[in-house]
Amino acid sequence: MATVDLSKMEPKEIIKGFKGKFIHTENTTLAFWEVEKGASIPLHAHIHEQITQVVEGKFELTIDGETKIYENGLVAVIPSNVVHGGVALTNCKIMDVFSPVREEYKNR
């Protein structure tokens, strides 16, 4: 079993305003995001199942045409190939779990 110290990891900006720290296992990627107010991710879909939890702040997330405001305590479960995207209404901290692994995040 390994221990990861997130405070010693350098965040990587994947898209403007989204800085992430990533932990990869054989089957999953765990992403810890710091998102700037106003930063947005366009509607998109991918093969990965995704579970999203807003830990701090408010994030407007649209999943399969339905828009909700997520904040601490709410968890979004996004199936494979479902269109989703959103915008940070405040500065946010968000945790995502992806399965399978987000290979494109490994080299960032």
pTM score of the predicted model: 0.93
What pLDDT is stored for residue 107 in this prediction? 74
What pLDDT is stored for residue 2 in this prediction? 86
Domain positions in the chain = 21-106
Strand order in the sheet with 84-88: 40-44, 84-88, 59-63, 66-70
Q: Would you say 93 and 55 are in contact if contact means Cβ atoms under 8 Å apart? A: yes
What pLDDT is stored for residue 1 in this prediction? 56
Q: Going residue by residue through the chain (108 aa), what tens digit of pLDDT does each one get? A: 589 999 999 999 999 999 999 999 999 999 999 999 999 999 999 999 999 999 999 999 999 999 999 999 999 999 999 999 999 999 999 999 999 999 988 875
21-106: CATH topology is: Jelly Rolls (2.60.120)
